[in-house]
């Protein structure tokens, strides 16, 4: 910053300079343009905050994406008693990836949704390649997907439904 030779005058009022306009003067139009400067979406924005879902579902999605919901594998690490098996299929160890995109039960639910909504680009056989909930979720909702906005809502709402069904069986 060039502040040399800048006369400080105790008598003068401070000026506020609006840096988003060339003439330094605030206007609604320049404020509107400034809004878009920050408009590159982070993955979390795209997957959760900019998509439609009720707030409690968004909060759940935000936790699930950070692997912070209490699936059996996490309970075990904390030494909490649990049977370890996925309550939906009773066959495999319950982990986030298993519950949300690998369980037979989950895949059956997704197949029926995809068929009902007519979403042929959603390719379930690829899902086993994904190793974390986040990886799977990002791939389903990034902007290579047609209607990523709607897909983000669908992934959140479907995962929420699965999580509730899982809890209904556990508790």
What residues line the site for Zn ion (CB under 5 A)?
86, 88-89, 103
Q: How far is the CB of 130 from Zn ion (least distance, A)?
A: 16
Quick one: 89 or 150, whose CB is closer to Zn ion? 89
The residues with which 85 forms a beta bridge, in sequence order, are 93
Quick one: 73 or 142, whose CB is closer to Zn ion? 73
Q: How far is the CB of 135 from Zn ion (least distance, A)?
A: 19
Q: How far is the CB of 168 from Zn ion (least distance, A)?
A: 15
How far is residue 62 from each of residues 23, 79, 134, 159, measured CA to CA in Å?
A: 42, 24, 10, 12
**Which 3 state secondary structure label does DSSP give 107?**
helix
Quick one: 72 or 103, whose CB is closer to Zn ion? 103
Give the Cα-Cα-Cα angle 41, 46, 51 (nearest 5 degrees).
Answer: 130
Do 128 and 33 meet the contact criterion of CB atoms below 8 Å apart?
A: no
User: Rounded CA gap, 1 and 19, in Å?
Assistant: 14
Q: How far is the CB of 88 from Zn ion (least distance, A)?
A: 4
Quick one: 72 or 88, whose CB is closer to Zn ion? 88
């Amino acid at each position: 910053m060039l502040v040399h030779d800048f006369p400080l005058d105790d008598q003068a009022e401070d000026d506020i300079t609006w840096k988003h306009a060339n003439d330094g003067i605030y206007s609604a139009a320049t404020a509107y343009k400034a809004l878009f400067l920050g408009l590159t979406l982070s993955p979390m924005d795209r997957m959760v905050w900019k998509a439609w879902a009720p707030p409690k579902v968004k909060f759940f999605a935000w936790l699930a994406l950070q692997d912070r919901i209490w699936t059996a594998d996490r309970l075990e690490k904390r030494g909490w008693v649990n049977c370890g098996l996925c309550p939906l299929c009773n066959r495999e160890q319950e982990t986030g990836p298993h519950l949300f995109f690998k369980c037979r039960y989950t895949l059956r639910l997704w197949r029926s949704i995809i068929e009902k909504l007519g979403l042929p680009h959603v390719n379930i056989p690829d899902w086993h390649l994904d190793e974390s909930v986040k990886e799977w979720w990002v791939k389903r909702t990034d902007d290579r997907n047609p209607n990523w906005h709607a897909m983000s809502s669908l992934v959140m709402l479907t995962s929420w439904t699965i999580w509730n069904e899982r809890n209904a069986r556990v508790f």
